[in-house]
Structure 1
Amino acid sequence: MVENDKFAPVRQDQSGLSRRHLLTAGAGLALGAVSACSPSGMGGVGFGNTTPSGPTTPVLGQGQTRVGLLLPASATGNAGGQVASAFRNAADLAVTELGGNDITLVAKDTLGTPEGARAAAAEALSEGVQMIVGPVFSPEVAAVSQITRPAGVPVIGFSTDATVAGQRTFLLSFLPASDARRVVFYAAGEGKRSIGALLPQNAYGQVMEAELRQAASAANMQVAQIERYELTTVGIQTAAATLGGNRSRYDCVFIPEAGDVINLIVQTLATSGLTPESALFLGSGQWEDGRVTGNAGLVGAVYPGPARAGFEGFAGRYQARFGAPPIRNASLAYDAVTLAALLSRSGGGRIDPAALTNPSGFNGIDGIFRFLSNGVCQRGLAVYKIAGGGQTEVASAAPRSFQGTQF
């Protein structure tokens, strides 16, 4: 699986503030972003402020179209439960802002395990859901897909592992392909022609290498050198020193790392004379982190991420309703539920799986996105430049449509 598969790196975003549009097959479906009322409770498997449809099934909304919501509410450890709570609240907010009449969300606890997810999906299917939103983790998504695919029911999961997508299983997440393609095409537009890269020697590094090579080929750029490192101080320093020693071979450097690792890489590269002044440093969405943007050795470097206004608006409405800010990836649940509701509305109560792969895509909290035929999500991202003092500036605005060679 890619990264730890909790979610892709912390990001920022775009979209309208008071009105939001999800664009489907030639028609704009608008919804008003109405301020929420009082905070709801957080008890139960799924939602606060829910009405049980049976002895153990919390639901939200009163639409004729039933949609399953599979979250790891009782997962071992804190992370799964925190994600489940935030995603549940975001789903609640989406249904509320749409008026509650398009769909009925049926919440199920996956327990954070493949077995629990499979059982939750089976229950949801037996209750007549037309779509499943969730689950979160890669093994859960794979398990759920085993029973939803034969039933012809689409799934919008949140894993960052693209290998579990396809055959009506879609991933609404931040995937390496969008990151790599955005910064590589930006570099090409800046006149750069060759790339050096530092990648971790693990599954994530393998995925990023494949995406880098594909993006470079599409942008008519050359991948001149790749150095791989073990996640140890010596391993990182050795790989960075080797890459830095060959700095004449490339004019930009791709470093899709985060936090303390990127800081050690930058320090080592600088001792070899390789800085953002001598080559364009390209990052990933993981760079949306104060430890990275505050690094003086990265001033002038760039990285991809959603335009930011949409998440800021969503976060304000979320906090007003629930009394605390959302985790960054809660917007994924909001967009997935909103998409399900508006597809139901446009389909007269029926969700057509084919509508999910509309090539024009959709516009959500995190800007434009669309699902490709293989189930992965393609996003329109901005490019940010690190300006010093922990500040960033927009180097290239997020696109508003999927037209153009970068896609």
Structure 2
Amino acid sequence: MSGPTSAAAVKANLTLGTGATKVTMLLPLSAPGSTGENGRKMYDGARLAMADLGDKLLTLTIQDTRGDSGYAKDLAVKAITSGTAKVVVGPSELAAAQHLAKLSGSKRPPVLALADNFAGGPGVYSVRLSEADSAAAGAAAIAGKGARKFVLMVPAGADSSAVESRVANALSIYGATLAVTLPYSPTDGGAKVVSDMTSLVEAPDAVVVACDDGSPAAVLAALKAKGIPGKTVTLIGTDRWLERPMDPLYEGAYIATLDQSETGPIADRFKATYNYQPDVNVAYAYDMVALSAGIASSAGPDGFNKQVLENATGFRGSTGLFRFRSDGSSQRSMPFFKVEKGQLKLVEKQTSGF
């Protein structure tokens, strides 16, 4: 049967490699449902990176957070205060990562957090592509083509401040503006927010639709009824749209997201080794272990400092080119696509993120 390594098999092998640089990795290996499955995919990604690059450079100790935020927080605090780990990879629980970001202390090892939609903090770096990054990169690419007036739509109740600030900041670089941010309810069909937009903003050039973990379909249907996307108004989506099957309503939208071709080299080896297709969880785990091995190789066990991790040129991984900022957020240079006939068609090889 193909699929991630079983939880029982994982338990038997929680220390990998014999290198001088000690790394602690926190994964939800025995969590129920998709959380545990994703944790075990990350474990397999880490194993491949160790086999490829890390075995002689790192001693990787993997600890099971069980998907429990409180327990993950305790394990993480112990990992950063024990004095043995040079870097901590994980946790993937958002509340635990947020707790770590609030802790003070400059002598701690850096944390490469795997939590989704985590904003980051000093010394606690956000690894995953966030919806804010994807929305900002897409908006910047369209602003770079001359669009000046943008509208952002976000699900009501979601924490939209990160998406709003990143999009506004990206637009300002091109002299474009975010005219208004409008929360929408996924249940009212989206008609109200679209009529609000037409009364508040005269002739916008582009509409950015974020969806958090819900579906953008209702608001896209309401926009389509108003002729958006069309000759005068561009529609910009985010990577979160792609977490569900491609909807005919996505047609004509632009999306900045990770480059699947970057994962090609590891994807083939991964599938040959573990007998299932890798996903983004595998890629993030692989990249963070590979990054740790790269730093250990070039700078030694004590090379995990701000200067190395926050260097402006960034790092190339199987998820593309990325860099960490001093506030703990990450920036990614990613390809820009247009949805045509239900497929992502490449428009630009990379957005001018950095």
Same fold (TM over 0.5): yes
User: In structure 2, which of residues 337, 342, 346 is the aligned counterpart of residue 384 of structure 1?
Assistant: 337
Kindly report the root-mean-square deviation, in angstroms, between the aligned alpha carbons of the 2 structures: 2.7
Q: Which residue of 1 aligns with 2:57?
A: 102
- The answer to whether residue 213 in structure 2 is matched with residue 277 in structure 1 is no
- The answer to whether residue 208 in structure 2 is matched with residue 254 in structure 1 is yes
Tell me the SS of whatever aligns to 1:249.
Answer: coil
Give yes or no for contact 2:54–2:290 (8 Å, CA) kept in 1.
Answer: no
Q: Which residue of 2 aligns with 1:70?
A: 26
Question: Bigger CA drift: 213-222 or 148-157?
Answer: 148-157
Distance 1:259 1:378, change over 3 A: closer
Residue by residue, what CA displacement relative to the aligned partner does 1:3-49 show, whole Å, maximum 9, x if unpaired?
xxxxxxxxxxxxxxxxxxxxxxxxxxxxxxxxxxxx9954458566x
Distance 1:61 1:338, change over 3 A: same
Distance 1:119 1:286, change over 3 A: closer
Q: Which residue of 1 aligns with 2:257?
A: 305
| Partners of 1:283 and 1:321 in 2: CA distance | 35
Q: Which residue of 2 aligns with 1:204?
A: 159
- The answer to whether residue 315 in structure 2 is matched with residue 347 in structure 1 is no
Q: Percent of aligned pairs with the same residue? A: 24
Counterpart mapping for 1:18-29 below 5 A: none
Give yes or no for contact 1:259–1:291 (8 Å, CA) kept in 2.
Answer: no
Q: Which residue of 2 aligns with 1:35?
A: none
Unaligned stretches of 5+ in structure 1?
1-38, 51-57
Counterpart mapping for 1:193-232 below 5 A: 193-232=148-187
Distance 1:146 1:189, change over 3 A: closer
Give yes or no for contact 1:148–1:154 (8 Å, CA) kept in 2.
Answer: no
| Partners of 1:341 and 1:148 in 2: CA distance | 27
Residue by residue, what CA displacement relative to the aligned partner does 1:230-274 show, whole Å, maximum 9, x if unpaired?
23235x221123325667421111112279732222221222333
User: In structure 1, which of residues 188, 196, 199 is the aligned counterpart of residue 143 of structure 2?
Assistant: 188
User: In structure 1, which of residues 360, 363, 366 is the aligned counterpart of residue 313 of structure 2?
Assistant: 360
Letter in 2 for 1:368: L
| Partners of 1:158 and 1:331 in 2: CA distance | 11
Counterpart mapping for 1:2-401 below 5 A: 42-44=6-8, 46=10, 50=13, 58-75=14-31, 77-98=32-53, 100-121=55-76, 123-124=78-79, 126=82, 128-144=84-100, 149=105, 151-163=107-119, 165-234=120-189, 236-244=190-198, 248-257=202-211, 261-289=215-243, 291-292=245-246, 294-295=247-248, 297-354=249-306, 355-388=308-341, 390-398=342-350
Distance 1:231 1:68, change over 3 A: same
| Partners of 2:102 and 2:19 in 1: CA distance | 27
| Partners of 1:214 and 1:159 in 2: CA distance | 23
| Partners of 2:221 and 2:266 in 1: CA distance | 37
Residues matched between the structures, number: 350
TM-score w.r.t. the length of structure 2 is 0.89
1:305 CA displacement = 0.8
Residue by residue, what CA displacement relative to the aligned partner does 1:263-311 show, whole Å, maximum 9, x if unpaired?
222221222333333411111112335634x41x443220101222122
Work out which structure has the larger RCO, using CA pairs closer than 8 Å and 6 or more positions apart in sequence. Answer: 1
